[in-house]
Structure formats: C-alpha cells, structure tokens
Structure 1
Amino acid sequence: MKSCVLLLVDDPEAEPASSRLAAETSPETAAALRRAMVEDMLDMLRWSESEVIVCRAPEFDEARCRVWLGDRPLWTQKGKDRSARRANALRRALTIKDFDRALVLDADIPQLDDETVRRALKGLEWNTCVLAPARGGFSLAGFDREGFLPDMFSHVPAEEPDALRRSLNVLEIYRRHPMLLDELAGVACLDDLRRLADNPPRHMARSRALALFRRLAAQ
C-alpha cells in the first residue's frame, strides 16, 4: 500500500499567531528555532517508511524554500485557513496522487517519533481515520482513501479551542471511529521546549531545536 506523510511548513520568518517565541527571544532566534524544528522533523521522517512531501504555505516563497530544504517533493498549501489546507493536501494525496493512506501534520511537534508515524499509518489499515490531540485541537490527522472525509475539516476551523471535540462529532455523524494517538501538542513558547529539554524523547538525542534552546538557556 502506498502511504505518504504531508508536512505543513510555514515561512519560519513569520511568527504564527499561536506562538510567543519571538516575544520571549527575538524574531531571529524564533525563526532559527522554527527552522530547527522542521529540520528535526524531516530527519525523523526519513525512518517513517513512507513518502514525505513538504507542503509549503503559499506566502512562503518557493525559491527560498528550496534553497533551505533542497530538492524534495514540494507542494503548495491551498486554502484560506489551516483546516482547508489540511483537507486539500489530503485530497490531493488520496484522490489525485493515488496514495492509499496519508497523514497530514504540523511541523512544530518535535515529540512525534517515527514509531508513532508508522503506528498511525498501520492503524489506517483497519481505521478510516487517525487523530493526535493537541490543546483542544489536533496536530496530526490521517485518512485512508475510501474513508477520507473532507467535511471533518470544512465544518471545524482548526483554530477553534474545541476543534477535536467538534471533529469527533462530525466523524460520529458519518459513523467513523477514529484511532486516537497520545497528545502531540506543538511548540508555542520556550516553556514547551524547556519541558522537552528536561526529559527529551530518545529520538531527540541530536535535536537541533533542543541544542539551540540549551545554548539560549545557558546565556
């Protein structure tokens, strides 16, 4: 079965609305931390046994993205908000590119490891959907081709504080019973990185983001 992982990558120079990194450090340091998290994620995904496709935000210049991330599969995110962009990336993978299973995930969830990615994809062999909770919403969503449900995204804005609960309600209406992973909250502030640095997962032993954070903390 053909599977892929769709990694949503925003311009690291642009501070997300949900992030406090620039206020706690500087715009330059925040951008460096965001770049490091993306690079860590791509390093980890090399072991996921699936094709990895970077989906860049439309405002992130393609030439600048390629200078940074090199010659790898690169799609442009489509849609007016996060929910639409997730849905459109999955739609392209499952209905146009003929992947059997696809995960879409954010780039700021450094605690995600390759074992969890493989487990999520394996779960799509008997579940039509998999979700990873994150602060009331979710940071990872996956579907198989037959079970893909765009309505889960069109009816629930990703920014809503209860996006996960509302998404589960939509899935229940369509009689879908998703596989739920452990919570995978993204990094929005230095405290999030501090908690990871205090007890780093095994796969983050060589994390660029944690190495940079430790240098900052030592200053």
Structure 2
Amino acid sequence: MVEETLATLYMTAIASVATCILGLAIGILLFMTSKDNLWENKAVNSLIGAFVNIFRSIPFIILIILLIPFTKLLIGSMLGANAALPALIIGAAPFYGRMVEIALREIDKGVIEASKAMGAKTSTIIFKVLIPESLPALVSGITVTTIALVGYTAMAGVVGAGGLGTVAFMEGFQRSNNDVTFVATVLILILVFIVQFIGDFFTVRIDKR
C-alpha cells in the first residue's frame, strides 16, 4: 500500500508540473490570439481552441486506450507509472489551459493597455502583467486540476499504471477484499484534502484584494 501510494504521488506530481507548464502556454496562446489582443489570429485561436475542446471532451479512460500506441512508442510499455504520464498530461493540460484563458480574461484591460502605452514588450506584458495579475486564479486552477489528476491516476490504475487505483481494483475489487478498496479510497481522499488545503493556503496568501 505504501509503495502504491508513492506511485500515485509520483504520477500526480510529475503530471501536475507538466500540466501547469503546458496548460499555461496553451492558455496564454488562447488569450493572446483572441480578438483585440496582441497576437490576434482567428485561425490559430480556432485551431488551439479545437484541440482543447476535443481533448477536454474525451473521457479519460478512453483517452488512455487511444494513446496506447503513442505511449508504447514514447515509453516502450503501457504498464507502470511512467506509462500513465502521457495520458495524464494530455488529458489535463487542455483543461488547465482553458482555466488559464478564463483567468486572463478577468484581468482589467486597462492594465494591459497601460503597459502597452508605456512601451512594454510582449514578453514583459505576459510575465510582468498577465501572470502576476491572474496568479490567484492560476493557483486555484492548478489546485482543481491536480485534484482531477488524482482521480485520473486511479482510473489509470485500472489498466495497469500502478498506484492506489491498481490496489483498489486488482487487490480489492477483483479479489473481493473490500477492506483494501476502502483503505485505498481513504488514502486517495486524504491526498485530495491535502492538495486542496495547500492550494487554498497559497491562493489566500497570493490574493491581495
């Protein structure tokens, strides 16, 4: 149980970091290429938006199956914690990307216009205005996404990714060991509560309103 808990923590941590980076990039691109923004480009915005909508809509368990050939090519196996990472990241990054876009849209346009009027470069606007101004929402968003990833790791466990999902399904459900299933479920809930507590703590500390 300890080993599989560590496997769940490993998958969640790696996938959360990668999702944060990719999702932030996707969200910024969606925002910057939208109407009346610095990189306004309808074609690019529509393309990225379609990618986000498609991968957000596919149920995770189906996404794992669809990505088996890609996972085998990339990792060399479809079993184990590392094999679950591509599906976890591809499944969560578009979701977080959309949350990033929503957070950026909440920023007062006057702040952005003032930065442009002072001659700020695009990179300065992104890293000195957009991200700092939306940071509480971004932290709250990655908290929600990380909790979703904990659930994704449990589903990934059903197809042999390891972690608490594998324990609950293989050792608990298939062998009718209800105690094992219960303990695995409780551990997942504790992990979710810890993630939520940490996310709320930092959101409150960052939010200066």
Settle same-fold status: TM greater than 0.5.
Answer: no
In proportion to residue count, which structure has more helix? 2
Q: Normalised by the size of structure 1, how large is the TM-score?
A: 0.25
Task: With the length of structure 2 as denominator, give the TM-score of the two structures.
Answer: 0.26
